[in-house]
Structure 1
């Protein structure tokens, strides 16, 4: 069994090449684990990791601020707003608005 952490002080064991053979050694205490067989690891990475964001329509607009923005559908003078990063990080945020008139509740967005 190969220890990745020292059983005495719980520090990460470091790989060391030695004239007597390869080993894992603790940097803070004298613990050494001699490697008796070939040890290999393989790590595979996906080119791009995609995140799926699920937003509940009822709770998405809870606790957001409102501003003086006229609704293009009903002309109500106030709207709720929030900003989200919908494109890559080097591009601007997208500003979402929702009409404060609950009977309208029209939602629109502005790319900034």
Structure 2
């Protein structure tokens, strides 16, 4: 990220120049600084774990939790902070046998 020397706003690339979005100031790109910029063009999502209802559960952690619906003793789970930061997170379980879902509070 590069900031404007005139007004302090964030600048964006325009060819070989950096342009201020606020005041329109233009400066040549610093070729050395550009090497340290991070681009998200090559970002992949292969390490994202899906948590929607229809998402695959492969790769999610499992726990020894008994399903109240079928009695199976293993379930996948995800953890989410549903309350304020000073409260413990909520664990959401999904039975590995029948797919029944429930919450677990710490």
> Normalised by the size of structure 2, how large is the TM-score?
0.50
> Normalised by the size of structure 1, how large is the TM-score?
0.47
Larger Rg, first or second structure (1 or 2): 1
